[in-house]
Amino acid sequence: MVAPFRENTAAGRYLDRRQGDGGYMVILQCDDIADRMSRCEALGVRVINHMQYGTYDGLQLHPRDTGGAILETSCTAGNGAPDGPWHPAGAEWQDAVRTDRITAITGAELQSDDPAGLAARWGEILAVKPVTDGKGTPLLPLENAMLRFVPATDGRGEGLGGLDIAVADRLALTAVAEKRGYVIKDDIVTVCGTRFKLIG
């Protein structure tokens, strides 16, 4: 999610094109940033931001070359552990973790007029072979999450349309959502232009 606080930013222009708030970036970890860089070069995918902060090394890729959204792939020392160091979140991010209602993000949903084509492109970049579910929806299975590619049907075009979240306390989450005026229908609540699918 992104919320620009000044005029004329790349993120702001992106949200204008998508007609309002919504998902902006998909951030994934990898084991070997040099291999990912070589793969991007071979595929003609431009790096718009190469971030290097100590043991953190990350690539943000050009959305015109990837399609869908800004794709970031990053590597850092100790990144094999879900609670390991992660520079963008700060040095003490673990102190802010709360799992009483939500325990994990388990998937992301990218919408497109060509879901299969977008899945194939992301699969090339991430070195993951696309598969389909029982309904024929293209998927990219990651180690601990799933990328799902669906038709763009909301009039907002291509982009990050939703996230899957593992729910620990559905009753409490539902109560808070309803108190704030959000409706949960078919396990989905839309917040800031993004569909959050409740899992569990």
Domain presence at residue 2: no
Domain presence at residue 119: yes
What's 183's domain CATH number? 3.10.180.10
Domain presence at residue 3: no
Domain presence at residue 65: yes
| Cα–Cα distance for residue pair 55/7, rounded to 1 Å | 33
pLDDT for the residue 17: 83
Cross-strand pairs, 58: 51, 74
Q: Is the pLDDT of residue 87 over 80?
A: yes
Q: Which two tokens stand for residue 173?
A: 């989450």
The pLDDT tens digits of the residues spanning 118-129 come to: 999 999 999 999
Domain presence at residue 1: no
Q: Which of 166, 190, 198 is nearest to 22 (CA)?
A: 190
pLDDT for the residue 80: 61
The CA-based angle 75-76-79, given to 5 degrees, is 90
Give residue 16's domain range.
Answer: 10-199
Domain presence at residue 17: yes
Domain presence at residue 54: yes
The total of structural domains in the chain comes to 1
CB-count burial class (<10 Å; 0-12, 13-18, 19+) for 83: exposed
Q: Is the pLDDT of residue 29 over 60?
A: yes
Domain presence at residue 32: yes
